[in-house]
Chains A and B, each alone.
Chain A
Amino acid sequence: MYHLDGTDVLEEKYYHKTKSICPVCQDKIDAEIVEEEGEIWIKKTCPEHGDFKDKISSSAKYYKWTHFAQRDENGNTEWEFLKNGEANPPDKQGDDPRGCPYNCGLCDEHLSTCSLVLIDLTNRCNFNCSFCYANVRRAGYLIEPSLEELDRIMKHFRNKPIPAPAIMFAGGEPTVRADFPEICKMAKDNGFKEVICATNGFGFQKKKGGLEFTKECFEKGLDTLYLQFDGINNATLEKTRGINNLIPYKERVIENCRKAGLTSIVLVQTVVKGITDVEVGNVIQYAIDNIDVVRGIIYQPVSLCGRITAEDMQELRITNADVIKEVDKQTNGKIGIDNAWYPLSTIVELGRIIAFLADVEPIEFTCHPDCGFATYLVVDPDSNEMVPIIDYFDPLKIVDFSNKFWEKIKNKEKEPIKFFENFLGDFGKTLDKGVNWLDKQQLRARFLAGMLQYTKKPGKLMEMFTRILLNGEWESISAFTHGSLLIGSMHFQDAYNLDIERTKRCVVHFGVAMPDGSVFESPFCTMNTLHRSRIEKIVAKKLTAKVENEFDTSKGVKVGEVTQQDLMQQQEVAHNGGTKKEE
């Protein structure tokens, strides 16, 4: 936080009022976010169930940086990391008088558009992780949307005024579905730029057929594997996944992707205090060693579902700041908490300018500053050392310039120049098109010059960055990410730390095909905290013993052969309000 050092911001105690929910009755209650002894806490009281307190950040200094606001000489806010997005029109008018987050669907209180669509392809899985919310055995019913339902969800998100650019298939384990490659193709056919699979690697790692499966998925449109990767020690993976000797399993995935030409793997580490947090540096090392196919690392501090005591909460809670501190410690300060990390919302204006000037779909990361932080590691061609990307740019100056630039040109997006049209009719319209084109070219030249002056080093990577600025195309972004390593941390909310200000800005939205032909769209954290069990009961299919016993989850392997016909039979009882087994 070198830029906050010596400022009044650090001296002022952080305080903010917000709304949250009671972890017991889930009713909406007032909450306050306060600074105490160098940490940030959320405190709330339910009239019926008492007081609750949970840690939001273990570093008040870092937290205050992520809530930074740039002010002019008169004290007015010029820009800040907390943003409101260009939201799509709501899907429904909420009928619950309590408002957000009970009216998901999506309602008119939402302040961001969707950047990443999430679809649970199935809740079948070859693993049985203790902290997973989506598992066929634990649920007692099957969730598995049909191809027609999946197509409907995809169209729902792509047909909006601001279409979602990326889609992630999750589960369960998505690759247990035999039609998974077809689903990847469907996503591409529907126009998604980036198709991602959140996976433990099942389909890709198979000794027999794994390589062919990987090739087929890649050829049909799969861009990125979001690969569950908790560490490089079998002992760590055994603790988190309950399965022995999983490292060779993960290495087969990496190797098959390498052979198939699928060169975009993101390693996803679930960070659990005392279990996987000691391996954050190991994962960075592993990524660098496999840089030809690994594009990034995402740390996910574990979210706490279900009821736990205050003592257990203190024991288990790990925040984004804790992860960043561990990265700092385990990389000997090379990726420092003080200067390397920025909230995801940092690049919003930059993205809007690029999209406007290049006439491409915008990517709106207008999520709350608490949702996630990221940095890029790049190779310095002079020293051959991996350095945070801030060595290449002056990030704060670029952010500042982008914000000021967008503030001045944003009206041009909605109100293009109409000069000749007024007195020359249709011919004037054509002339105005030319004027607008010329105007964009001069804006582009100014913007590039501004970016150039805050760039510190030349090189191939900078050439790729220039291309992003010029065309905003996915190809340029993809090539840029292949020359760098993204490191990010995303902390999902649970009922204890839920802040409705965050929920309203969520950019990761679940889509569920409902029996009435509609699509239920919900922000990620509210889906898991509030809506999942109700929605799943509506769309659930009855579970047969054959499906239930399909995998030996102590080894992560398939035992019973479940055919497409078995699953089709279950399609027939779909939407019957499938009930939990114990009910």
Chain B
Amino acid sequence: MSQEEVVTKDGLKIRKLVDLKASTAEEYQEAMLHRVEHFSKRKDSVFNDFVENTIVQGLKLALNAKVEIDKMLGDNKDKVHKILENVLLFGL
């Protein structure tokens, strides 16, 4: 974490954050995965649901593809999203 430490006249340490670069990025993900591990110990945990795990993996692939398609669409992205939104809301 980049920071500059400033000491005020009252002796307070004020840490001015220059950027929010985390040296702990992996810890974040680990904390989340530990939580998953914690819940997975229970038999009825959603993290042990085969169907759901399969859907999540499928959506992960879909999201990866979608990010690439968005890049290709360039300026037309918003127009395409609007059309898709109308399709998704159609008939409800």
By a beta-carbon cutoff of 8 Å, the part of chain A in contact with chain B is: 232-233, 235-236, 261, 263, 278-279, 281-282, 284-285, 288-289, 291-292, 330-332, 334-335, 377-379, 381, 383-387, 397, 401, 404-405, 408-409, 443, 446-450, 452-458, 460-464, 466-467, 470-471, 473, 475-476, 478-480, 482-484
Residues of B within 8 A of A385 (CB): 19-22
A379-B46 in contact (CB<8A): no
From 20 to 46 in chain B, residues with beta carbon under 8 angstroms from any chain A beta carbon are 20-25, 27-36, 38-39, 45-46
Residues of B within 8 A of A332 (CB): 16-19
25 pairs, CB–CB < 8 Å, chain A vs chain B? A233-B11, A233-B12, A281-B16, A281-B17, A282-B13, A289-B24, A291-B22, A292-B27, A332-B19, A401-B88, A450-B88, A454-B81, A463-B56, A463-B60, A464-B32, A467-B46, A470-B55, A471-B52, A473-B46, A479-B36, A479-B47, A480-B32, A482-B35, A483-B29, A483-B31
A448-B59 in contact (CB<8A): yes
Residues of B within 8 A of A484 (CB): 28
With A235-B11, A460-B32, A475-B39 in contact, do A331 and B17 touch (Cβ < 8 Å)? Answer: yes
- The docked-state distance in angstroms from the alpha carbon of A82 to that of B14 is 37
A288-B20 in contact (CB<8A): yes
B32-A291 in contact (CB<8A): no
B12-A458 in contact (CB<8A): no
A446-B24 in contact (CB<8A): no
Residue of B nearest to A446 (CB): B88
A-B contact count (CB 8 A): 166
With A291-B27, A386-B21 in contact, do A408 and B46 touch (Cβ < 8 Å)? Answer: no
Is B1 an interface position by the 8 A CB rule?
Answer: yes
With A471-B46, A482-B34 in contact, do A452 and B15 touch (Cβ < 8 Å)? Answer: no
- The docked-state distance in angstroms from the alpha carbon of A483 to that of B35 is 9
Among B29, B35, B66, residue most surrounded by chain A Cβ atoms (within 10 Å): B35
Q: Of B10, B13, B32, which one neighbours A483 at CB under 8 angstroms? A: B32
In the complex, how many angstroms separate the beta carbon of A259 from the nearest chain B beta carbon?
Answer: 14
Residue of B nearest to A455 (CB): B63
A483-B17 in contact (CB<8A): no
A278-B35 in contact (CB<8A): no
Residues of B within 8 A of A383 (CB): 21
- The docked-state distance in angstroms from the alpha carbon of A233 to that of B70 is 47
In the complex, how many angstroms separate the beta carbon of B57 from the nearest chain A beta carbon?
Answer: 8
- The docked-state distance in angstroms from the alpha carbon of A573 to that of B8 is 52
With A235-B10, A384-B21 in contact, do A458 and B67 touch (Cβ < 8 Å)? Answer: yes
Residues of B within 8 A of A443 (CB): 92
From 51 to 92 in chain B, residues with beta carbon under 8 angstroms from any chain A beta carbon are 52, 55-56, 59-60, 62-64, 66-67, 70, 81, 84-85, 88-89, 92
Residues of B within 8 A of A473 (CB): 46
Residues of A within 8 A of B16 (CB): 281, 330, 332
Residues of B within 8 A of A475 (CB): 39, 45-47
Residues of A within 8 A of B63 (CB): 452, 455, 458, 462
Residues of B within 8 A of A404 (CB): 85, 89
Among A281, A335, A483, residue most surrounded by chain B Cβ atoms (within 10 Å): A483
B66-A236 in contact (CB<8A): no
A386-B20 in contact (CB<8A): yes
- The docked-state distance in angstroms from the alpha carbon of A46 to that of B13 is 45
Residues of A within 8 A of B14 (CB): 278-279, 281-282, 330
B47-A470 in contact (CB<8A): no
- The docked-state distance in angstroms from the alpha carbon of A477 to that of B7 is 39
Residues of A within 8 A of B62 (CB): 452
The 5 closest A-B pairs by CB, nearest first: A483-B32, A386-B20, A408-B92, A482-B35, A379-B25
Residue of B nearest to A331 (CB): B17
Residue of A nearest to B14 (CB): A278
Residues of B within 8 A of A471 (CB): 46, 49, 52
Residues of A within 8 A of B92 (CB): 405, 408-409, 443, 446
Residues of B within 8 A of A450 (CB): 84-85, 88
Residue of A nearest to B53 (CB): A467
- The docked-state distance in angstroms from the alpha carbon of A292 to that of B13 is 24
B17-A330 in contact (CB<8A): yes
A408-B15 in contact (CB<8A): no
Q: Of B17, B34, B55, which one neighbours A285 at CB under 8 angstroms? A: B17
Residues of B within 8 A of A480 (CB): 32
B15-A285 in contact (CB<8A): yes
- The docked-state distance in angstroms from the alpha carbon of A385 to that of B25 is 8
Residues of B within 8 A of A448 (CB): 59
